[in-house]
Amino acid sequence: MMIRGATARVAPGNRDERNPDVVCLSHLRWNFVFQRPQHILTRCARRRRVFFFEEPMLEQGPPRLALQSVHEGVMVAVPHLPPDIPEHERDALLRHLVGELIDGHAIADYVLWYYTPMAVSFTRHLEPIAVVYDCMDELSAFAHAPPALREREVELLRRADVVFTGGHSLYEAKRDLHPNIHPIPSSVDVSHFGTARSAAREGEPIDQAAIPRPRLGFFGVIDERMDLDLIAAVADARRDWHIVMLGPVVKIDPATLPRRPNVHWLGMKKYEELPAYLAGWDVALLPFARNQSTRFISPTKTPEYLAAGKPVVSTSIRDVVRPYGEMGLVRIADAPGDFVTAIEAYLGEAAEARAERMSRTDDLLARTSWDRTYDRVEELLRRACVAGESALCSRGARHV
């Protein structure tokens, strides 16, 4: 089977040469939590086709590629592989399925867009116009990270034409590793989360409506980045407060979650549902642990909480401290007693102080949007494609 790369040319005029397709290799599921990849790639798909190639699902049966159109211009490709196959066989099968995707959809001029360096092992043979590495997290610091991840990232950084980082602290850690690296912090859909400011009380979700107030809330993935001891300590310190936790529990044993009458684990919610839950919270929380897995995170939910009009208390995550903590828009506390004090300060906040804080919040949010963020991404992508197209043409056409 021939794998068609950037040099398998499409006749001039049949496609806008400035808008090659995107083949994205991701460790995240498209239908999991709606976050950075979905925000960026749905906007990317307004200009080109986007193919989102996920990590394999393991099941008995012959290898296959399941395809689903999930958004205008976005197609999700999920490889299904037998379990317990050796790594070299796994890579060979994935290489074949990527080729099946490329050939089957006449993908000729394209960009390879990586969220996971592990995908290099089955895509290094391809010849895209350009390679993008959107480094949204320091994946090597996460629980159960593959041992080869660091080595693969070194290779990906050599191959990449442009690198984005999900926050400023991650940019500072990696800026000397690539000549064309840019901090692209995650942004916010202000209008979406802003609906929480005016949501009617009677419109509350059924599973939250009966929970007494004051309510403190968190939404997001619940994993090794959560400070479960902090959540338990806050719940024990103020039994009249109720903590609402929304999100899937992954990579940790659910039995380790603190179980208290005033801690409510409501599970994963759809992106469209989040404002309705936020509307019923008195304070939003970022109770992250301070460990290797949180050293470089830049929580997307920080501006989302603020857009919803909620006061926010966070542990001292660098990309929350800067700029939100330094601007006085988020209270920062680590020790349980300090965290409780910070929450109490917001619950007792005077109307005038709240109005002044909200005004400064809205000034910041007025300069922030996913559309603006993507405009910057698109500019850098186009530059990389122009440079990559010139390099491919200078080498001449060849097939792999």
CATH number at residue 39: 3.40.50.2000
pLDDT (0 to 100) of residue 143: 76
Strand partners, 163: 133, 181
For residues 171 and 76, membership in a common domain is answered with yes
Query: Is 112 in contact with 94 (CB distance < 8 Å)?
Result: no
Inside any domain, residue 13? no
Q: Do 53 and 128 belong to one domain?
A: yes
Q: 33 with 175, same domain?
A: yes
Do 201 and 128 fall into the same domain?
no
User: Per-residue pLDDT for 117 more than 90?
Assistant: yes
Q: Which domain holds residue 386?
A: 21-187+370-395
Q: Is residue 142 part of a domain?
A: yes
What is the edge-to-edge ordering of all strands in the sheet holding 242-246?
263-267, 242-246, 215-219, 283-286, 312-314, 331-332
Separation of alpha carbons 309 and 104, rounded Å: 47
Say if residue 325 is in the same domain as residue 385: no
What confidence tier does 393 reach under pLDDT thresholds 50, 70, 90? low
Question: Is 6 among the domain residues?
Answer: no
Q: Of the candidates 160, 118, 157, 124, which has an alpha carbon nearest to the alpha carbon of residue 140?
A: 118
Residue 400 lies in a domain: no
Q: Give yes or no: residues 41 and 148 share one domain.
A: yes
Residue 11 in any domain: the answer is no
Cβ atoms 172, 245 nearer than 8 A: no
**pLDDT of 355 higher than 60:** yes
Task: Tell me the whole-structure pTM to 2 decimals.
Answer: 0.88
CA distance 297 to 290: 10
Let me know whether 113 and 147 are in one domain: yes
* Nearest CA among 218, 228, 221 for reference residue 256: 228
Same structural domain, 195 and 290: yes
CA 114 → CA 49, 156, 280, 341, 384, distances in Å?
16, 9, 37, 42, 14
Residues 157 and 215 in one domain: no
CA distance 215 to 29: 30
**Which residues are CB-neighbours of 262 under 8 A, at least 6 positions away?**
235, 239, 240, 241, 242, 243
- The predicted pLDDT at position 394 comes to 54
Residues 93 and 42 in one domain: yes
Residue 16 resides in a domain: no
State the Cα–Cα distance between residues 295 and 54, nearest whole angstrom. 26
pLDDT digits (tens, 9 = 90+) for 202-260: 679 999 999 999 999 999 999 999 999 999 999 999 999 999 999 999 999 999 999 99
Q: Same domain for 149 and 168?
A: yes
Give the residues across from 81 on adjacent strands.
58
Report the C-alpha gap between 207 and 225 in whole angstroms: 25
Q: Does residue 264 sit within a domain?
A: yes
Has residue 3 been placed in a domain?
no
CA-CA distances (angstroms) from residue 220 to 97, 135, 264, 284, 300?
A: 32, 19, 14, 12, 9
Assess whether pLDDT exceeds 50 at residue 313.
yes
Q: Assess whether pLDDT exceeds 80 at residue 17.
A: no
Bridge partners for 23 per DSSP: 51, 112
Domain co-membership, 233 together with 172:
no
The total domain count for the chain is: 2
